[in-house]
Amino acid sequence: MEAATQLRIGYQKSSTLISLLKAKGTLESALAPHDVKISWHEFPNGQPLLEALNVGNIDLSADVADTVPVFAQAAGARLAYFATEAPSPTAQAIIVHQDSPLSSVAELKGKKVAVTRAAGNHYLLLSALADAGLKFSDIDAAYLAPADGRAAFENRKVDAWVAWEPFLSSAQQQLPTRTLADGTGLADYQRYYLTSAAFAEAHPQVLQSVFNELVKAGEWLRTHPREAAEQLGPLWGNLAPQIVEQANQRRSYDVRAVKPESLVEQQKIADAFFNEGLLPKRIDASDVVLWKPETAQ
């Protein structure tokens, strides 16, 4: 490997395992023998994160929801999937205020719903609406980033909000809310770690080291839930440990290699967005590079 390889890592607030590795300096230690220099770049959500990956401003993306790579692929990105977390369907949900007159997803027809464009919660909303016999055009969608979605929901500017963790648990514990639907039976909510096809080919050992540390971080979090919550709370805007612990209980953090069969749900997502006119072109979700790790150390 050439000297002083640069590894620019993009992440977002919900990038739990990467956030833990960043806070502890774990990746710097693991990659030091390979003369890799890391820089960290935070993004508000997954869409701008993968846009930065597509144009070469970062080399590696921390976990993003399964919907995000579909939109990046439609934009022409040559992606390489290098890890995934096992499905976590209850880590996102459609919520309303406790005193809302709405009691079902079907009653969202004509209502204003806050959702983040191209995020995992966007697919949950599509899937839940379809299950209720509605189209996306039957609602008034307000495309908002998580913080803005929370503000709009709290101030009753929208009738419902589609949130993911840790924003979901935060709202549920700080506000009186009800859940109309989570992802159970509707959206698997797998989170993927990505890089460019070119970086995967040029630096497989860097990806192997990152993969190994992600596996270990996931195992540590699952066996140390309270300690993890206390470490993550300050990184997530000083959230109380009990909020973080609830959020983490809904995420699998089971890091594994991406296999071709993992992309079946990706194709379902792509087709759902295309059929609603929300994806600019039909894509083949399997037309990506699947990097294969060695057994995690």
| Contacts of 288 by beta carbon, 8 Å cutoff, 6+ apart | 69, 73, 79, 80, 81, 197, 263
pLDDT the model gives residue 295: 65
In DSSP notation, 69-131 reads: HHHHHHTT--EEEEEEE---GGGEEEEEETT-S--SGGGGTT-EEEE-TTSHHHHHHHHHHHH
Mean pLDDT score, 233-261 = 95
Mean pLDDT score, 45-59 = 91
Q: Using an 8 Å Cβ cutoff, are 219 and 91 in contact?
A: no
* 3 pLDDT more than 80: no
Grade residue 279 by pLDDT with cuts at 50, 70 and 90: very high
* 1 pLDDT more than 50: no
* Residues β-bridged to residue 233: none
Grade residue 297 by pLDDT with cuts at 50, 70 and 90: very low
Mean residue pLDDT of the chain comes to 94
Convert the pLDDT of each residue in 78-131 to its tens digit: 899 999 999 999 999 999 999 999 999 999 999 999 999 988 999 999 999 999
Q: Which of 203, 270, 292 is nearest to 69 (CA)?
A: 270
DSSP state of 45: S
pLDDT the model gives residue 135: 95
What is the chain's alpha carbon radius of gyration, rounded to the nearest angstrom? 19
5-86+190-235+253-290 and 89-182, same CATH topology: yes
Residue 130 burial (CB < 10 Å; 0-12/13-18/19+)?
Answer: middle
Domain assignments of the chain as residue spans, ordered by start = 5-86+190-235+253-290, 89-182
Going by their DSSP bridges, the two strands 160-164 and 92-97 should be labelled as antiparallel
Q: Does the pTM of the predicted model rise above 0.95?
A: no
The percent of residues above 90 in pLDDT, for the chain, comes to 89
DSSP state of 262: G
Q: Which of 235, 132, 256, 236 is nearest to 190 (CA)?
A: 256
Give the distance, in angstroms, between the CA of residue 188 and the centroid of all CA atoms in the same chain: 12
pLDDT the model gives residue 211: 97
Domain 5-86+190-235+253-290 has CATH 3.20.20.70: no
pLDDT the model gives residue 105: 98
Grade residue 44 by pLDDT with cuts at 50, 70 and 90: confident
Q: How far is it, in rounded angstroms, from Cα 104 to Cα 264?
A: 28
pLDDT the model gives residue 192: 96
Mean pLDDT score, 156-166 = 97
The domain defined by 89-182 folds into D-Maltodextrin-Binding Protein; domain 2 (3.40.190)
Convert the pLDDT of each residue in 166-204 to its tens digit: 999 999 999 999 999 999 999 999 999 999 999 999 999
Q: Using an 8 Å Cβ cutoff, are 286 and 274 in contact?
A: no
* 72 pLDDT more than 80: yes
